[in-house]
Amino acid sequence: MIKAHPALRPSFHRVVIARATPGAGSGPPVAVVRGPADAPGAGQQALVSISHDGAYATAVCVGFEADRP
């Protein structure tokens, strides 16, 4: 999330991994940038893929700039 969305300037303390559908037992995770309601990008979501196998974990975040064609 931090590298995929540099314009939001997220930090580890502001990024939360949550379910795309609250209350669902399972479903795709999303990364959410927390912050004050008036902060640019606060509440912004990003698609993520998280996987693990034994002692190894990996995650991928897809980022884009909405202002670019």
Sign, CA dihedral 25-27-30-36, equals negative
Per-residue pLDDT 10s for the chain (69 aa) are 777 777 777 778 888 888 777 665 667 788 887 766 566 656 677 888 888 898 999 988 877 666 655
| Domain membership flag for residue 14 | yes
Domain range for 25 = 6-62
Per-position DSSP letters for 46-59, written without gaps between them: EEEEEEEETTEEEE
| Domain membership flag for residue 1 | no
- Our count of domains for the chain comes to 1
What is the value of pTM for the model shown?
0.60
| Domain membership flag for residue 24 | yes
| Domain membership flag for residue 69 | no
| Domain membership flag for residue 47 | yes
| Domain membership flag for residue 67 | no
Output phi, psi for 47, to 5 deg: -75, 135
